[in-house]
Structure formats: C-alpha cells, structure tokens
Amino acid sequence: MQKIIWGLTGEMASGKGTVAKYLVKKYKGNSYRFSIMLRDLAKRMYLEESRDNLQKLSKIFRQNFSEDILSKVIYHDVKNDQHRVVAVDGVRRASDIKYLQTFPNFKLIYIETGLEKRFARTKARYENSDDATKTFVQFKKDQKKEAELQIGGLKAKADFVVDNNGNFKKLYSQIDKIIASCKN
C-alpha cells in the first residue's frame, strides 16, 4: 500500500480525533492536528487553551500571513512523515486541504454526528479549558463562529461521509471499509 493521507473533517466533537487515533493504532500510522500548533503557541504565551483563544490565534496567523499558513505547516509535516497511513485531524476550511490535495493519495473523510451527541462529547472530553462548563446554548453559539462556518461546505468535497451517531464498533467498521476500498 502506498502512503495515504486521510483528512478528517466534521463539526466540533464529531469524532475526528477518535478516527485519527483508530487509524494510528490499527494501521500503524501517524496523525497531525491543526490545533496542535495553536495549542503550542498558547502554552508558550501562557494563554488559556480555550476554544476562543485558539480561534483568535488561528485568525491572527491567517489574516497576517495567508489563509493557508496552517495548511503549509501540516503539508510539510505530512510530506516528511515516513508512515504509510497519516491522519490529518481538524480540517475546517477548503484552504486547509489546498496543499494536502497535491498528494496523490489524499482522501477527505467528513464525519457526521448529531448536535446533542456532539455536545455530550464536548462536555465529557475536556479538550479545551472551557468545555466542562459550557452550556448547550453556548455550544450552539460556538457552531456559528468563524472557525466552524466552512466545515459544512467540506462535505461536498469529501471522498467519504461517515455516520458517527452509533457506537465505536459501527464507526470503526465504516473506517475499515473505506481503508479496504482504497488499498492499491
């Protein structure tokens, strides 16, 4: 099997990280997240790792350097990676895949999950410092922030759409079928 790059997109807490971890574990791959570089900067600046702060940092870089600046970083990380399976977690905009699409075996997976299920996951996972205290009203407002607005449009660009409203077994089964369909 040639190197294949999986771009993972979907709304907040849809299961992108879960799929990335599964790809790494089962297929001995590696993963990258757009938010990691932003989290690194937040830590270095002694900023709280809240969703708002990460979105502000992203916006600052995109407005002052280029809309695809984060995509360039991910592209170079993936290009230099020696694993045969690479997951890129957190694709939010078309510009995020601008360079990844130049890889011959790049595939985009859109992960769909209902709003209530995503809210419950957000509260349980403590990924951002403000997740545990977030109300459902706040969560719904977060869906309308700049970082989330282009995600829905990526569904039409996706090579595969995965339904993640079931259990892990159903999710992993869908991923395994996608992987099997792409083997060279």
Domain ranges of the chain: 4-182
Percent of all residues in the chain with a pLDDT value above 90, rounded to a whole number? 74
Give the per-residue pLDDT at 184: 52
| Burial state string for 152-176 with b = 16 or more CB within 10 A and e = fewer than 16 | eebeeebebebebeeeeeebeebbe
- Nearest to 23, CA basis, from 41, 8, 39, 12: 8
Q: Enter the tokens of residue 74.
A: 């991910």
Fold of 4-182: Rossmann fold (3.40.50)
147, 90 in Cβ contact below 8 A? no
Residues 79-105 have pLDDT tens digits of 999 999 999 999 999 999 999 999 999
Read off the pTM: 0.89
3-state SS class at 112: strand
Residues 50-79 have pLDDT tens digits of 888 998 999 999 999 998 999 999 999 999
d(CA 182, CA 156): 19
d(CA 7, CA 157): 11
